[in-house]
Amino acid sequence: MIIKTPKIDGTFDFAVIFLLTLILFSGCDLFTERKEVLSKNVQSEKLSPNDVIPFFQHWNLILGDGSNAGIASNYHHEDFFYTQSDSEDNWVVFKSPNAGNTHGTSNNTRTELAQLRKWSAKDEASLKATAKVMQVAQTGDARVAASYSVVIGQIHSADGHENEPLKIFYKKFPGHSKGSVFWNYEINTEGEDNSGRWDYSYPVWGYDFSKVGDAADSYPIEPTDGIELGEEITYSVEVKDGLMQLIFESEGHETKTFTKNLIASEYSNKKDIPEQVNQLFVSIGQDGVERINAYSDEGLFFKLGCYNQTNGKDPSINRVWCSGAETYDGDIEAQYKHGAYAEVWFKDASIEISENSISNQGYFESNDGLSNKTVYPIEVIPQLNKFKMLMGNGENVNDLNDFEHKDFFYTVIDGTRRWVVYKTPNSGTTSKNSSNTRTELHEKREWTPEEGGRLSGTCKVMHVSVSGDPRVAASFSTVVGQIHSGAGHENEPLKIFYKKFPGHKRGSVFWNYEINTDGEDNSGRWDFSTAVWGHDMSVVSKHKNEFPEEPSDGIKLGEAFSYEVNVVDGIMHLTFKSTHHETKTFTKNLISSEYAQEDLVPDQVKTLFFPEGQDGLEREEAYSNELVYFKQGAYNQTNGKDPSKNFIWCTGSETYGGDILKQYENGSYTEVWFRDTEVGPGILMKE
The values of phi and psi at residue 31, to 5°, are -60, -40
Q: pLDDT-based confidence at 102, cuts 50/70/90?
A: confident
Average pLDDT over residues 428-456: 90
Q: Of the candidates 111, 622, 668, which has an alpha carbon nearest to the alpha carbon of residue 437?
A: 668
C-alpha distances in Å from residue 372, one per residue of 64, 104, 313, 419, 523: 14, 9, 17, 16, 50
List, in sequence order, every residue forming a beta bridge with 455; answer none if it has no partner: 565, 679
Dihedral angle, C-alpha 208, 209, 214, 220, nearest 10 °:
40
pLDDT on residue 687: 60
Q: pLDDT-based confidence at 261, cuts 50/70/90?
A: very high
Residue 20: is its pLDDT beyond 70? no
Q: How far is CA 62 from the centre of its chain?
A: 21
Q: Residues in the chain, how many?
A: 687
| DSSP state letter for 429 | B
Q: pLDDT-based confidence at 26, cuts 50/70/90?
A: very low
Minimum mean pLDDT among 14-23, 228-237, 433-442, 605-614: which range? 14-23
Q: What is the pLDDT of residues 35-86, one digit of tens each?
A: 343 444 444 457 899 999 999 999 999 999 989 999 998 899 999 999 999 9
pLDDT on residue 278: 95
pLDDT on residue 285: 84
Q: What is the pLDDT of residues 392-438, one digit of tens each?
A: 999 999 999 999 999 999 999 886 788 999 999 999 877 666 679 99
Domain with CATH 2.60.120.200 in the chain: 3-372, 388-680
Average pLDDT over residues 333-337: 96
Average pLDDT over residues 303-313: 97
Q: Of the candidates 464, 471, 450, which has an alpha carbon nearest to the alpha carbon of residue 624?
A: 450
Average pLDDT over residues 287-310: 97
| Residue 18 host element (H or E) | helix 14-26
Top-level class of domain 388-680: mainly beta
Q: Measured between alpha carbons, how far is 303 from 686 in angstroms, rounded to an integer? A: 50
Q: What is the pLDDT of residues 610-656, one digit of tens each?
A: 999 999 999 999 999 999 999 999 999 999 999 999 999 999 999 99
Q: Measured between alpha carbons, how far is 102 from 158 in angstroms, rounded to an integer? A: 17
Residues whose CB is less than 8 angstroms from the CB of residue 265 and which lie 6 or more positions away in sequence, other chains included: 187, 188, 290, 291, 292, 293, 294
Q: Measured between alpha carbons, how far is 465 from 428 in angstroms, rounded to an integer? A: 14
pLDDT on residue 371: 67
CATH topology of domain 3-372: Jelly Rolls (2.60.120)
**365 touches 127 (CB < 8 A):** no
Q: Measured between alpha carbons, how far is 677 from 679 in angstroms, rounded to an integer? A: 7
Q: What angle do CA 589, 594, 596 make, to 5 degrees?
A: 130
Burial class of 275 by CB neighbour count within 10 A (0 to 12, 13 to 18, 19+): exposed
Q: What HEC string does 623-650 produce?
A: CCCCCEEEEEEEEECCCCCCHHHCCCCC
Q: Measured between alpha carbons, how far is 332 from 330 in angstroms, rounded to an integer? A: 6
pLDDT on residue 580: 86
Q: What is the pLDDT of residues 348-377, one digit of tens each?
A: 999 999 999 999 999 998 888 766 778 899
Q: Give the sign of the dihedral formed by CA 644, CA 646, CA 649, CA 655.
A: negative
Q: Measured between alpha carbons, how far is 621 from 516 in angstroms, rounded to an integer? A: 9
Assign residue 613 a region: left if phi > 0, alpha if psi is -120 to 50, beta otherwise?
Answer: left
Average pLDDT over residues 507-524: 97
Average pLDDT over residues 194-215: 96
pLDDT on residue 5: 44
Average pLDDT over residues 174-190: 98
pLDDT on residue 13: 46
Q: Measured between alpha carbons, how far is 512 from 347 in angstroms, rounded to an integer? A: 64
Q: pLDDT-based confidence at 550, cuts 50/70/90?
A: very high
Minimum mean pLDDT among 4-18, 295-309, 394-408, 570-584: which range? 4-18
Minimum mean pLDDT among 88-92, 193-197, 336-340, 470-474: which range? 193-197
Percent pLDDT > 70 in the chain is 92
pTM (two decimals): 0.76
Strands 68-70 and 59-62 come out as antiparallel
Q: Measured between alpha carbons, how far is 531 from 508 in angstroms, rounded to an integer? A: 8
What mean pLDDT value characterizes the chain?
91
Q: Measured between alpha carbons, how far is 54 from 49 in angstroms, rounded to an integer? A: 8
